[in-house]
Amino acid sequence: MRAALALLLTCLATGSIVAAPIGAAPIGADEDTKFGTGVTLEAATSIADVIARPADYAGKTIRVEGVVTAVCQHMGCWMTLAPAGAAGEKPATLRLKVDDGVIVFPVSSRGKTAVAQGVIEKVGADHDAAEVAAAAGTTAYQLKVTGALLR
């Protein structure tokens, strides 16, 4: 028992034990961190195209890739992605939403590259979602995420 306690205390002191976010599959530091069902589509749709013509993609399952610009501070239930290399202080972004508690995006995701898959949907009457979309410079559409990867 003492040996197990000593090992646990050593791991805690050295940071060898790390808790994974809900819905995340912890894997090696050199690899992607998988959320939800992951990403199965090979071809990515340009975030810029989705932002420019979101209604064209409504109801379709797509894959997007970009840089995480914001993450829900409260529950990790959404994040926004900007196209890689987007210029400007506040580039146009696409909001990625997950079912609360099913996938939790860590706040530390900001600035990392993310790949996500899901269905483009119009933001409904949810006042909070519309307010967040407007504040983040996103469209009235979002990607309802089923899986994602953080790099």
Q: How many residues comprise the chain?
A: 151
Question: Which fold does the domain 21-150 belong to in CATH?
Answer: OB fold (Dihydrolipoamide Acetyltransferase, E2P) (2.40.50)
pLDDT reading at 44 higher than 90: yes
Q: Smallest Cα–Cα separation from 147: which of 105, 117, 106, 108?
A: 117
pLDDT reading at 47 higher than 70: yes
pLDDT reading at 2 higher than 60: no
Instruction: Write down the pLDDT at residue 87.
Output: 61
pLDDT digits (tens, 9 = 90+) for 70-95: 999 888 899 999 988 776 667 789 99
Instruction: Write down the pLDDT at residue 8.
Output: 41
Which is higher by pLDDT, 24 or 54?
54
Q: Smallest Cα–Cα separation from 150: which of 108, 94, 112, 124?
A: 112
Instruction: Write down the pLDDT at residue 136.
Output: 55
pLDDT digits (tens, 9 = 90+) for 33-43: 999 999 999 99
